[in-house]
Amino acid sequence: MPETIRPLHTLATPSTAPPDPRSYGVGARFSLHPMTTDFVPVILDALTAADASALEVVTDDVSTFVQGTESDVLTYLRDVIAAAAATGVHTVAHVLLSRGCPGEVACELRDGDPYAPTDLPALAPTGLRAAAHWSLYPLDDGDAATGRGDHMAAIYAVIERAKERGTFTRSEHFATRLDGDLADVLTTVGEGWLAAGRVVRHVTSHATISLNSPSPAAGA
């Protein structure tokens, strides 16, 4: 049976001490797929079109790692993906957001209070319509006081927030369908990541974001 939806603020009180992004493992890994034979300049131009001055950005042959504050990371992702999609080419981005597991595979900050900034500034619209399949993973090992975690409670709360924002289209198998301006889709994903991150330390989120698709939208 589905769980009762509880507002996130009833689940825990966030810590007030803000750790820096690197020590808390805040960042993203993303890949950009412009479906054109000339994909190399589209990707390289998009990567240079966005302001990375506040971020650590490392690109390899599979994906690009981005570390910095939540707001800076999401703004950079919006600008890179928007630059590629502004070419008109059908472009898909795959975005992984992570927090609370800084040491690569080893989560050296596992114990302690979860932390996430209270507010994520809404990203300015891009004028580009995006469709996304989105998944959120609060990696909750259970609470020492209650003895059990409940990773689905955070997911239900976040989906309610996406409905309020207007980007929610429907629940799919293994993912939630979002539609809207690229900025609103990314804001929804970022908000969900932070909301879950206020009650669970290690939280990841994945989104496959499609723009300029020639296929009929299955969405809104």
| Tokens 């928007």 -> residue | 82
104 part of the interface to its own copies, by CB under 8 A: yes
Dihedral angle sign, alpha carbons of residues 176, 177, 183, 184: negative
- From the list 56-64, 76-84, 119-127, 185-193, the region that binds its own copies by CB under 8 A is 56-64
Nearest distance from residue 54's CB to its own copies, in Å? 17
Pick one of 4, 16, 37, 53: the residue that binds its own copies (CB under 8 A).
37
Residue 83, Cβ density class (10 Å: 0-12 exposed, 13-18 middle, ≥19 buried): buried
Q: Which of residues 83-102 bind its own copies (CB under 8 A)?
A: 90, 92, 94, 96, 98, 101
Closest CA to 138 of 126, 125, 149: 149
Closest CA to 97 of 25, 171, 183: 25
Q: Which is nearer to its own copies, 46 or 131 (CB)?
A: 131
Closest CA to 98 of 10, 180, 13, 200: 200
117 part of the interface to its own copies, by CB under 8 A: no
Q: Which is nearer to its own copies, 124 or 164 (CB)?
A: 164
Q: Which of residues 133-172 bind its own copies (CB under 8 A)?
A: 133, 135, 137-144, 147-152, 155-156, 159, 171-172
Q: Which is nearer to its own copies, 16 or 205 (CB)?
A: 205
